[in-house]
């Protein structure tokens, strides 16, 4: 087993819509940032999401001993529960490995992006080890090394050389102090096969992640981007980030020179959601996951907006089955479905 930090092989991150061999998730426990009924509800939602994904592809679910027996009794037969005592939080998109493929598609490797708990906003609790554990589980080797600190939720690619992110979450002194944007781009190009960078402003300090792009703007296919439009009734904290993203992307082109087509997806009215006192939550339909033959999107409890989102994604993915999963706890603690998952591309 060798450390791949000096690996010179050429890699690229495929689009999320390409075939998966499986998806990773993690069950939070009492060492995470939340407890009581909120933690219990988040655990239930993780199991519901895992079971929905398992209808389409294998699901590998990390669990500590604290939750192991309960989880094993509730999951779909296509879910493999993996004991890893390092498991604490549920946000495996951020602390798990990011998987890339070789140019011929025959080799898959994980990358360890040196998770530092969102710029040291939380105390280390073990999750930083899951990039190594997850990569070894899939590939049998240590993950590719890098000096960059980044989270998967802060980056999106179209699989054809275009990278989308908010500067606030990557070109950031609590993540990559002293590194210029050009230096960061050079390393991301090496690791992800990126040829063109589309940078949004994002917003520093508005949430733990400094505005991850996977709840703001996502590629649904090459040349098509879906934007999370704040609710007119209760717009919340991210109006400036949305307006900036729209202004920057409306005339943008991708790595292949195609103009981007933008699709707005309006967020739910937080006043219609259970257990929400104000608009200060992350409730974004853009936080979806493409799976083999399907797309898993969210339902929040605003029936009108939930239906609008379903219709939009059915239009955007006419050849896939679109499934909605209800969540309430995850938006209240800062994320959604995409944040809680990490796909593993299939080798060719």
Mean pLDDT across 326-337: 96
What distance in Å separates the CA atoms of residue 202 and residue 75, rounded to the nearest whole number? 36
Per-residue pLDDT reduced to its tens digit, 205-243:
889 999 999 999 999 999 999 999 999 999 988 999 999
Cα 76 to chain centroid, rounded: 22
Per-residue pLDDT reduced to its tens digit, 22-52:
999 999 999 998 999 999 999 999 999 999 9
User: What b/e string do you get for 69-92 counting C-beta neighbours within 10 Å, with b at 16 or more?
Assistant: eebeeebeeebebbebebbbbbbb
Q: Provide the residue ranges of all domains of the chain, joining segments of one domain with +.
A: 20-345
Residue 52 has what pLDDT?
98
User: Which residue shows structure tokens 């009492």?
Assistant: 30
pLDDT for 5 beyond 60: no
Cβ burial, residue 107 (10 Å; 0-12/13-18/19+): middle
Mean pLDDT of the chain: 95
Residue 348 has what pLDDT?
87
Name the nearest CA neighbour of 2 among 148, 136, 193: 136
Residue 278 has what pLDDT?
67
pLDDT band of residue 120 (cuts 50, 70, 90) is very high
Cα 162 to chain centroid, rounded: 17
Residue 279 has what pLDDT?
60
pLDDT for 6 beyond 80: no
Catalytic residue numbers, as ranges: 339
Residue 3 has what pLDDT?
40
Cβ burial, residue 132 (10 Å; 0-12/13-18/19+): middle
pLDDT band of residue 9 (cuts 50, 70, 90) is low
Mean pLDDT across 170-184: 96
Q: Architecture of domain 20-345 in CATH? A: 5-stranded Propeller (3.75)
pLDDT band of residue 155 (cuts 50, 70, 90) is very high
Which two three-digit tokens encode residue 333?
Answer: 């603690």
pLDDT for 1 beyond 80: no
Angle of helix 65-72 relative to helix 36-53, nearest 10 degrees? 50
Sheet architecture: strand order including 224-229: 217-221, 224-229, 261-266
pLDDT for 148 beyond 60: yes
């Amino acid at each position: 087993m060798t450390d791949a930090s000096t690996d010179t092989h050429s890699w690229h991150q495929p689009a999320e819509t390409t075939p998966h061999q499986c998806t990773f998730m993690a069950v939070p426990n009492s060492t995470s940032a939340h407890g009581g009924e909120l933690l219990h509800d988040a655990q239930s939602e993780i199991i519901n999401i895992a079971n929905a994904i398992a209808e389409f592809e294998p699901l590998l679910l990390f669990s500590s001993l604290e939750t192991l027996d309960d989880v094993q009794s509730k999951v779909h037969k296509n879910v493999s529960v993996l004991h890893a005592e390092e498991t604490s939080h549920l946000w495996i998109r951020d602390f798990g490995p990011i998987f890339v493929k070789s140019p011929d598609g025959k080799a898959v490797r994980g990358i360890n992006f040196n998770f530092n708990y969102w710029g040291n906003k939380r105390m280390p609790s073990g999750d930083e080890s899951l990039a190594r554990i997850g990569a070894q589980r899939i590939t049998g080797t240590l993950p590719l090394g890098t000096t960059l600190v980044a989270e998967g939720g802060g980056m999106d690619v179209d699989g054809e050389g275009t990278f989308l992110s908010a500067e606030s979450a990557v070109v950031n002194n609590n993540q990559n102090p002293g590194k210029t944007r050009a230096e960061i781009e050079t390393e991301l190009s090496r690791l992800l096969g990126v040829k063109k960078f589309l940078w949004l402003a994002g917003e520093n300090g508005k949430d733990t992640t400094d505005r991850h792009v996977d709840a703001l703007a996502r590629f649904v296919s090459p040349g098509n981007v879906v934007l999370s439009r704040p609710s007119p009734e209760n717009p919340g904290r991210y109006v400036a980030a949305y307006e900036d993203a729209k202004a920057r992307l409306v005339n943008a082109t991708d790595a292949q020179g195609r103009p981007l087509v933008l699709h707005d997806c309006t967020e739910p009215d937080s006043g219609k959601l259970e257990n929400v006192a104000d608009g200060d939550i992350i409730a974004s339909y853009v936080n979806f996951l493409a799976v083999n033959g399907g797309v898993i999107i969210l339902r929040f409890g605003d029936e009108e907006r939930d239906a609008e989102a379903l219709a939009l994604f059915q239009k955007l993915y006419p050849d896939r089955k679109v499934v909605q999963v209800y969540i309430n706890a995850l938006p209240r603690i800062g994320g959604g479905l995409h944040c809680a998952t990490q796909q593993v591309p299939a080798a060719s």
